[in-house]
Amino acid sequence: MRSSIQPSTLRTSAAVLALLLLFSLAGCGIHPQGDDSSGRTAVMINLSLAQDQARPLASEQSAGIARLEVLIHITGPGLTDPIKYLIHDLQLGTSITLWVPTGSSRTFEVWIYQIPATAPAPDTFPATLLVTVTPPALRTVDLIGDEVSVTIQVAPAPDLASVGTYNNNGYLEIIGGSSPQLIPGSCGIVTQVTFIDPAFDNLALGPVPVHVGLAPNYLDGEYLITGVPLGRYFQLLVQQTWAGWSGKSEKVLISNDANPNPINVLLQGYQALGLSPANDYVADGLPLRTVSFQVTGGSGTYNFFSDLAMMGLASISPYGLYSVTGTVYADTVDTVTVTDDCFEGDSATAEVFWYLAPVLMPSESPAISPTSGSELGGDYVYLYGMGFDATTQVFFGGILAPTINFYDYYSMDAITPPHSPGVVDVRVFNPRSNSLLPDFAGFDFTMSNGFQYYAGGPANKFEAPFVGDPSRYQYTP
């Protein structure tokens, strides 16, 4: 009878744990690599965890195993290369039949990767390798056609090593521009590293987070990954998914358990810094609009600055939020620059156009004086506020004033156009045109019910306009 034991049973007890890895392995559509024999023998391979190992099982096993990846080698007289069986994503408790080409003195050896259900710890090998510990004589059998049972004990690989930087070798580099450069070690960059085992049909183990730069010196390009099985070949796939970096090493034998095994990886995909939007606008003197800049490319750590920010008239946060904090009193252009905090020389710029934003604001005197006039039009109306210039237009009830006199940044007057009796809005508008900002036509301000037309006439008659003291009209948004 086939039993179905779930991985969660691993949490029960140590005694049960030793029995959980008892299973039979498989043909059931799985064919050996290197099989050139027409005769086959059914083999039941019973695997169990060795109980006499001083080294405890990996902590991942106590937390649960997501799956098992199994590699079986069969060697013997007359076989130039081992017969190989690869069984991917095997679940505990699975029972299948393995058919093996016939022959004498066939020796079985097994390697099993335990893939943990939990995320791997940073800078450590992301799986546990179980290796065969049963003596060869006890796992060597003759395959002559009758069903055979082979019992093999496995245990965690006793010899572990490290991979990384050693003796001026084994660095993580990036092509950033015309030539490779070491990834800066002082910027806190974290890569994702996947171990590829060619013997397991290029099985990908990981990814595991790996920090660039080793404490306490944080030297450029340095890294270290511990707990790597000794004596196996691996390729490293190194990625920085946020930035789009990726690179793969050569196939390297992990042969040294005293010092890190140096493996160099050159990453492609570095993108030069970009700043978006490339052009935007704000209101001069009024916090009516902010700009949120987005950065692409680079390392992910940036510095922002601008010409007006250095003058205290603008501010820009470490996250790229640009805000107006002062007044220029005229249209101007501010250049925003972002530099990469890790890769020197990489920068991008954008332009922020500052445009005057007109405002009508009552202070010690009314913003509009007088506030009423004849339906016939022709009344002089004085306007007080700020953000005025020679282009400012004035509208009464949506009708453009026929005559406008600009005095200074704070004051102007206009002659009212004819309009039917009633209360109307007064709108001041600074028209603007910029081919880089096709959707922007200028800033405006409307005072609701700011003027009343009465029936009849005559219009107000003044010899000369009165211009108030600009210092009296301070606007606080």
Residue by residue, DSSP assigns 20-32 as HT--B---TT---
State the pLDDT at residue 38.
57
Q: Is pLDDT above 80 for 117?
A: yes
Q: Is pLDDT above 80 for 93?
A: no
Q: pLDDT band for 362, please (50, 70, 90 cuts).
A: low
Q: Which two tokens stand for residue 316?
A: 């820009």
State the pLDDT at residue 177.
63
In sequence order, the 6+-apart residues with CB closer than 8 A to the CB of 331 are 284, 353, 354, 355, 356, 432
The neighbouring-strand residues paired with 399 are 396
Q: What is the chain's percent helix, strand, coil content, to nearest 5?
A: 5, 45, 45
pTM above 0.75, yes or no: no
Q: Is pLDDT above 80 for 176?
A: no
Q: Is the Cβ–Cβ distance between 397 and 423 less than 8 Å?
A: no
Q: Which two tokens stand for residue 222?
A: 């340095």
Q: Which amino acid is at 75?
A: T
State the pLDDT at residue 57.
35
Better pLDDT: 82 or 2: 82
How much of the chain exceeds pLDDT 90, in percent? Answer: 65
Better pLDDT: 306 or 343: 306
What mean pLDDT comes out for the span 25-35?
43
Per-residue burial over 333-342, b = 16 or more CB atoms within 10 Å of its CB, e = otherwise:
ebebbbbbbb
State the pLDDT at residue 168.
92
Q: Is pLDDT above 50 for 470?
A: no
d(CA 49, CA 250): 33
Q: Order across the sheet with 265-267: list the strands.
A: 180-182, 172-175, 265-267
d(CA 428, CA 359): 7
Q: Could you tell me which of 22, 40, 269 has the C-alpha nearest to residue 145?
A: 40
Q: Could you tell me which of 149, 203, 109, 125 has the C-alpha nearest to residue 22?
A: 149
Q: Is pLDDT above 60 for 324?
A: yes
What mean pLDDT comes out for the span 332-356?
93
State the pLDDT at residue 461.
56
**Given the DSSP bridges, would you call strands 245-248 and 98-101 parallel, antiparallel or unpaired?**
unpaired
Q: Which two tokens stand for residue 392?
A: 């400012």
Q: Is pLDDT above 70 for 467?
A: no
Better pLDDT: 362 or 112: 112
Q: Which two tokens stand for residue 246?
A: 């990726």
State the pLDDT at residue 18.
32
Gyration radius from the chain CA atoms: 39
Q: pLDDT band for 207, please (50, 70, 90 cuts).
A: very high
Please, what is the average pLDDT of the chain? Answer: 84
d(CA 213, CA 216): 9
Q: Is pLDDT above 50 for 370?
A: yes
Q: pLDDT band for 94, please (50, 70, 90 cuts).
A: low
